[in-house]
Amino acid sequence: MLRPKIPTMPAPVGVTAPPAVVQPTAVEPALQTMPPATAPVVPPARPTVQITPGSVLAVVGAGTAVVLVVGTVLVSMLLATAVTAASVAVCAVVVRSLLTSPNKRRR
């Protein structure tokens, strides 16, 4: 019942044709021409990066924004962990008191 069934290869049905014979064709080489010699292209000199006070202010502002966003996310994750730990501790105290209190109750 749990043994896998391996499929068998079916036998060919009917008459099979022999493989076709491929006839080789002649390859004629094309004439190769050399391109005319050209002068080497000199890449243009890279422009120097000019730092302006506005670009410095933009970079500092973007960095500050990134630091504030990452800090907010990390603090919120820490706060969520602290709240979760406190709620688990409260639940543990309640469960412990419920388990030990039936011995002390009298109705």
> In 3D, which of 100, 96, 93 has the Cα closest to residue 85?
93
The confidence score (pLDDT) of residue 63 equals 96
Q: Does residue 38 have a pLDDT over 80?
A: no
The confidence score (pLDDT) of residue 104 equals 65
Report pTM. Answer: 0.44
Q: What angle do CA 28, 33, 25 make, to 5 degrees?
A: 10
Q: What is the Cα 78 distance to its own chain's centre?
A: 26
The confidence score (pLDDT) of residue 26 equals 79
Cα Rg of the chain (Å, integer): 41
pLDDT category at 59 given cuts 50, 70, 90 is very high
* 59 vs 34 pLDDT, higher one: 59
CB < 8 Å & 24+ apart, contacts of 93-102: none
